[in-house]
Amino acid sequence: MEQTMLHIQQFSFALEGNSILDGLSFSLAKGEYLSVIGPNGAGKSTLLKCLMRVHEHGTSRGEIRLKGRLLSEYAQRTLAALVSYVPQAGGWVPPFTVEELLRLSRYPYLAAGGVLGKTDQEAVKKALYLTDMHMLASRRLTSLSGGERQKAFVAAALAQETEIILLDEPASFLDPKHTAELNRLIRVLHREHGVTMLTVTHDLNHPLCMEGKILVLRQGRQLFFGQTQEMLRKNILEDAFSHQFICFPHPGTGRPTLLAKE
Amino acid sequence: MKRTHTFFCFVLLCGVLAAASPFWGMSAISPSSIWTAGHPDAEIFWRLRLPRTLAAFLAGAGLSISGMVFQALLRNPLATPFTLGVSSGAALGASVSFRLGTFLPFFSSLGSLGAALAGGLLSMLLVYLITRARGGFSTLSMLLAGVIINFFFSSLIMLTQYLSDTRDSLRIMHWLMGSLAGLEVFRIADLAFVVIAGALIIRHFSMEIDLLAAGEELAASRGVQTVRAKISIFAAASIIVGTVVSLTGPIGFVGMMIPHICRLWLGWAHRTLLPATFFLGGCFLVVCDLFARSILAPAEMPIGILTALIGGPFFLWVLFKSCRHGELF
């Protein structure tokens, strides 16, 4: 039987009286991949933040369940042992070394004071090798390129050893080569390690090549949730972005590809 | 590895200088004479120089580690006990107590210590409330609140001074320059207790500080209860600053320079950064104090003036450097 990892029922969220998310309902099974798309200001990043419980001062209605348990019942540490996060690319990075960043990911498993045990060090090492970042382990994040930094953050999420990874526009601001590399890494992690992933993205072709489900948001409302094929058939994107798109098979792979009309 | 080596040598040098400093000053004391009971040099050493050196070390260490905390949590190298208004709060408390002490014996018995500590905590509370009113605990809000509090309290200090007679006004002015002279031994014990306890609390939170420095969202996603952690860490740092400032007057720039230098050498893991900052900050102020009491001998230069003379150009250097790199660290 498929285990439900994330179940969201009539979830709404408001900050200082402004409704940001309104009546979201969907659920994800263990190991599924969800792409969240929608125009700017649709509430995509807010959804991720609600899942991490960053917004302490907003008001929410409805419920979010993780593995059957209400999100609000989790202690922050227990939640962190279940959900990890890859921040948006192109932001400020702390001047830690790659390894230091990964070590910080072990926080949910450590006693106060923060001394890493053997299993923690092994998790860090494993994440470094999986992402091919072991060569750069002692480099400072500030000295890395945008693509390498993003890989370091993915490695950090891996070192946290969670069942769910949230990614907030992981590839924006990256050049095509690094975007492709990052997507390949995400695909490997998803397929071979069975991690449930939620990715917020502006790249409409990202969900098409990830073979997962898709959630389309507009102004905080859920416009669509389901398979990508169905989304294409129903012309959801025109509605969401108020813009025309052309869908054609990719000349190389034959996969459906989207292009915004001029 | 080579970097850490150089740093270690530097720290060792500072340690030796600091350890030797009670033997220097207006008159040099030979190490052999301090064990001779009744020898005047022994009296000077045990009664005056050693307590003063200890006080300088503790004050420097306390200011440096709290500066380190403020810099990390606000992600800004210019965030110090001073820019956040904690020092001006403490200074206002002390000034008011000097002024009121002339009318009301109660206030003078309470002393400038309690008043300054209360002032420091009051300003931290105000910064906290202003930041909360602006919604969330963004770095910008906190720095802005600090600047506002600073201006406001500075004018209140000037008002207090204006309303005082010449004697009190001079006392306030002298206190505002910062000095380690005339600190009683039992006060040094208080100082030691607060600084060491504060350092242990900060050490307990070292991983939280790392994570908060990396960003609040990241910290929350790694399991840190950000609001609670921030309040505990800020409270510990503010109590250290409040206590140090109330005993020595505002000694500026130590809390900015020392952690900044340590970061350049050791990086950002606060578990290793903390002891280095503690030790180097202590040694730095001991050496500054040595200069303060020997440059103009037999007169004594207020140590706050000396640290500000070194710190001002350093502050500018940090400012220009961070502008050039387009980032704050």
* Interval B71-90: pLDDT, tens: 888 877 777 777 788 888 88
Strands laid side by side in the A83-86 sheet: A69-70, A59-66, A4-15, A18-29, A221-227, A213-218, A33-37, A196-200, A164-168, A83-86
Query: Following CA atoms B103, B106, B109, B114 in sequence, which dihedral angle do they give, to the nearest 10 degrees?
Result: -100
Within 10 Å of residue B99's Cβ, how many Cβ atoms?
21
Pick the more confident residue, B189 or B6.
B189
- For the cut 90, the answer to whether the pLDDT of residue B279 exceeds it is yes
| pLDDT tens-digit map of A19-72 | 899 989 999 999 999 999 988 888 898 999 899 888 767 888 999 999 989 998
| pLDDT tens-digit map of B105-132 | 555 545 667 787 888 888 888 887 887 7
A125 touches chain B (CB under 8 A): no
Among residues 267-286 of chain B, which lie with CB inside 8 Å of chain A? 267-269, 271
Q: Find the CB nearest A52 among B136, B207, B220.
A: B220
A54 with B220: Cβ contact below 8 A: yes
Residues of chain A with C-beta less than 8 angstroms from the C-beta of B203: 113
**Per-residue exposure over B282-296, b if at least 16 CB sit within 10 Å of its own CB, e if not:** bbbbbbbbbebbbee
Cβ atoms B233, B73 nearer than 8 A: yes
pLDDT over 90 percentage in chain A: 41
**Tokens describing residue A63:** 């419920």
At residue A100, the pLDDT reads: 92
B214 with A104: Cβ contact below 8 A: yes
Cβ atoms B63, B257 nearer than 8 A: no
| pLDDT tens-digit map of A68-85 | 899 989 999 999 999 999
pLDDT over 70 percentage in chain A: 98
Which segment of A174-188, B61-75, B279-293 scores lowest on mean pLDDT?
A174-188
Mutate: best of A55, A59, A76, A160, partner B, most B CBs <10 A: A76
DSSP state of B223: T
φ/ψ bin of B235: left (φ > 0), alpha (ψ from -120 to 50), beta (otherwise): alpha
At residue A252, the pLDDT reads: 84
| pLDDT tens-digit map of B180-207 | 776 777 788 888 999 999 999 999 999 9
A195 touches chain B (CB under 8 A): no
- For the cut 80, the answer to whether the pLDDT of residue B297 exceeds it is no
| pLDDT tens-digit map of B22-75 | 887 777 777 777 777 778 888 788 888 888 899 999 999 999 999 999 888 887
The torsion angles phi and psi of B148, rounded to 5 degrees, stand at -60, -50
A200 touches chain B (CB under 8 A): no
CA nearest neighbour of B61 among B155, B165, B196: B196
**Tokens describing residue A101:** 């960043």
Q: In Å, how far are B29, B119, B173, B321 from B99, measured between CA atoms?
A: 39, 15, 12, 42
DSSP state of A107: G
Prediction pTM value: 0.85
Domain B45-325 has CATH 1.20.1260.10: no
**Tokens describing residue B309:** 């003379």
Residues of chain A with C-beta less than 8 angstroms from the C-beta of B210: 96, 100, 104, 114
At residue B101, the pLDDT reads: 67
Q: Find the CB nearest A160 among B215, B216, B222.
A: B222
DSSP state of B267: -
Residues of chain B with C-beta less than 8 angstroms from the C-beta of A116: none
Pick the more confident residue, B319 or B288.
B288
A107 with B225: Cβ contact below 8 A: no
Measure A172 CA to nearest chain B CA, in Å.
18
Q: Find the CB nearest A53 among B136, B213, B220.
A: B220
B221 with A52: Cβ contact below 8 A: yes
Q: Residue written as tokens 């790694």?
A: B222
Measure B18 CA to nearest chain A CA, in Å.
30
A215: Cα within 13 Å, side-chain hemisphere:
26
Q: Which amino acid is at B58?
A: L
| pLDDT tens-digit map of A159-171 | 999 999 999 988 8
A185 touches chain B (CB under 8 A): no
A100 with B221: Cβ contact below 8 A: no
Which segment of A80-89, A143-152, A187-196, B308-317 scores lowest on mean pLDDT?
B308-317
Scanning every residue of chain B, which has its alpha carbon at the shortest distance from the alpha carbon of A75? B223
B266 touches chain A (CB under 8 A): no
Cβ atoms A258, A205 nearer than 8 A: yes
At residue A123, the pLDDT reads: 93
The model's confidence at residue A173, banded by pLDDT at 50, 70 and 90, is confident
Question: How big is the CA angle at B135 (ends B132 and B137), to the nearest 5 degrees?
Answer: 65
Query: Is the predicted ipTM greater than 0.90, yes or no?
Result: no
A53 with B75: Cβ contact below 8 A: no
Among residues 231-260 of chain A, which lie with CB inside 8 Å of chain B? none
Which segment of A7-16, A135-144, A229-238, B206-215 scores lowest on mean pLDDT?
A229-238
At residue A193, the pLDDT reads: 84
Q: Find the CB nearest B206 among A83, A114, A166.
A: A114
Pick the more confident residue, B55 or B19.
B55
